[in-house]
Amino acid sequence: MTLETVVLTGAAGRVGSVLRESLRHRVRRLISVDRVPLVAEGANEEVRQAELSGAEDVASIIEGADAIVHLAGVPDEAPLDSLLVGNVLGTHDVLEAARRTGTKRVVLASSNRLTGCYPVKQMVSVEMPPRPDGLYGVSKVAVEALGRLYADKFGLQVVCLRIGSLEPEPSEPRHLATWLSPRDCAGFVWAALTRPDITFTTAYAVSANTRRFWELSDEIGYRPHDDAESWAQRLLETAQYFTGDQLQGGDYATAEYTLRHALE
């Protein structure tokens, strides 16, 4: 798939900041969008400050684009009404704008926390039922369902990436399973943008970690390079984390996490 213009929403966030540089070097024109001010980092990058409130607003930005990488939204546990507006309705606006403008390829930021209530001893595939570790994970179930709907009903090409723990390097035992290196993050997204013959697919975006929780899929054609195991000896209490009844979401899967962030 040849790409001339790509729109990146949520460009100021953790994932967006990693992707801006790699995308600028691969496409003729990158339109980076966020609700906070941005400064263009190259001659082929345009920046837009926008709230993306409604399909018409989104359509005015993505008109003429070949693809959109949608990262904007609420990034963590929050009250359900905030998650519905920021993640679910926001994703609907992007998909509807893509339908109206003829922007065929849409890459949606899903999350590993959609399956965070599976035990650490169980390998999980994208075919298995969701077991979200909180309301944030619930919102990502809805995001994937919207992507499936717009692929089936309106012919969009949609890739949902269940993004792992994007960090420069692993910093806690859970990252030995969930780490996503910046290099692999860029690789997964570029593959999701360019893989031919996509209708709808979901994939875990995680590095090739020896202890990973999730099956790697060949659907988008990218095989990760990095392995968190290289940092294992620097991390404390590693063995204890991968034993017992621990859930893959770790602290995210505790009742206290949701109560603290979303319900109190």
Whole-number Å distance between alpha carbons of 176 and 190: 24
Q: What is each CA distance from 176 to 167, 210, 242, in whole angstroms?
A: 12, 8, 10
Q: Quick check: 41 and 21 in contact, CB under 8 A?
A: yes
Q: Which two tokens stand for residue 156?
A: 């969009």
Q: Which helix (H) or strand (E) holds 231?
A: none
Which runs of E-coded beta strand occur in 80-178? 105-111, 157-163, 165-166
Q: Report, as residue numbers or ranges, the catalytic residues.
A: 136
Whole-number Å distance between alpha carbons of 28 and 260: 44
Q: Which helix (H) or strand (E) holds 45?
A: strand 45-49
